[in-house]
Amino acid sequence: MDYCKQEMPDLRGTGEQKSYFRPIKYTNISGEQLFKRMGMDGSGLSEEAMYAAVRIIRETLIHYLSIGHTVTIDGLGSFRLSLGLKDGKKMEPTDDESDETKRNAQSVEVKKVLFKVDRNFLQELNMSTSLERAETKHLKKPGTTQEERRQMVLNYLDSHPFFRVKDYVELTGLSLTSAHKELHSLVTDQSSGLKANGKGSHIVYVKTVI
């Protein structure tokens, strides 16, 4: 399996460059392809039986997770749910049981299902995986000045409500780290015409209202 080194976003604007390794993505394996491969390995199960088993596992997982349990499948891993506020809802501070509490309950939903892989599964996967570093491709340095790039963004925002760091990378040709640094510099300059909304990975950039 090929892998590469990827820059991490500088979400705090510290200017510190960090990186991580990630696999080069290949095509997605569908359930049909997976079941065909399992049949080739002599499982003795038909594709229909495999689909039925997955459906039953899915329904049973939903049942136990929905009432607060963690579900562990030996050799595979553990599932648990994560809660959060619905989009557009805000946390209402309260010290007692009141209408505020009830309103909060209606504002909460399951945001994601977290999966923690079984340690033995991870060890076997490492034993089966042969890693090879892919050729690193560097972004070309942009042939524009910062002022020209600022104007490019303002023109972009004439037809878009906001832009993100990855949009800035695609628009300007800067690396991810350089894009974060430059955007931080632009939004701290009140004359740039740009400001940041949100926090962390949810930051978007918009025009300042004159």
**pLDDT tens string 192-206:** 999 998 877 688 899
2-80+112-133 matches 146-207 in fold: no
Q: Which fold, 2-80+112-133?
A: HU Protein; Chain A (4.10.520)
pLDDT at residue 115, as a whole number? 95
The larger pLDDT score, comparing residue 31 to residue 175, is at: 31
Architecture of domain 146-207: Orthogonal Bundle (1.10)
The tokens for 8 are 């991490």
pLDDT at residue 94, as a whole number? 56
Asked whether residue 118 carries a pLDDT value surpassing 90, the answer given is yes
Identify the DSSP state of 53.
H
- Tracing tokens 């049973």 back to the chain, one arrives at 60
Asked whether residue 7 carries a pLDDT value surpassing 90, the answer given is no
Instruction: Check the CA dihedral 196-161-140-200 and report its sign.
Output: positive
Asked if residue 194 lies in contact with residue 205, where contact means CB atoms within 8 angstroms, the answer is yes
Asked if residue 11 lies in contact with residue 203, where contact means CB atoms within 8 angstroms, the answer is yes
The larger pLDDT score, comparing residue 59 to residue 13, is at: 59
Asked if residue 203 lies in contact with residue 163, where contact means CB atoms within 8 angstroms, the answer is no
pLDDT at residue 58, as a whole number? 95
- Tracing tokens 């399996």 back to the chain, one arrives at 1
The tokens for 187 are 């939004």
Alpha-carbon gap, residue 16 to 19, rounded angstroms: 10
pLDDT at residue 45, as a whole number? 84
pLDDT digits (tens, 9 = 90+) for 119-152: 999 999 999 998 888 765 544 556 788 898 889 8
Instruction: Check the CA dihedral 134-140-141-144 and report its sign.
Output: negative
Assign 22 a pLDDT band (cuts: 50, 70, 90). confident
Asked whether residue 14 carries a pLDDT value surpassing 70, the answer given is no
The residues spanned by each domain of the chain are 2-80+112-133, 146-207
- What average pLDDT does this structure show over 151-163? 88
- What average pLDDT does this structure show over 92-115? 72
pTM exceeding the 0.75 threshold for the entire prediction: no
Longest dimension (CA), the chain: 70
Residue 67, CA distances (Å) to 54, 123, 152, 167 in order: 20, 31, 51, 40
Residue 178, CA distances (Å) to 4, 18, 135, 194 in order: 19, 12, 21, 17
Assign 92 a pLDDT band (cuts: 50, 70, 90). low
The larger pLDDT score, comparing residue 157 to residue 23, is at: 157
Alpha-carbon gap, residue 123 to 127, rounded angstroms: 6
Mean pLDDT over each residue of the chain, to the nearest integer:
82
Asked if residue 168 lies in contact with residue 204, where contact means CB atoms within 8 angstroms, the answer is no
pLDDT at residue 125, as a whole number? 92
pLDDT at residue 42, as a whole number? 75
Alpha helices, H only, the chain: 31-40, 47-66, 99-107, 119-128, 146-157, 165-172, 176-187
- What average pLDDT does this structure show over 160-171? 86
If you compute the radius of gyration of the chain from its CA atoms, what whole number of angstroms results? 24
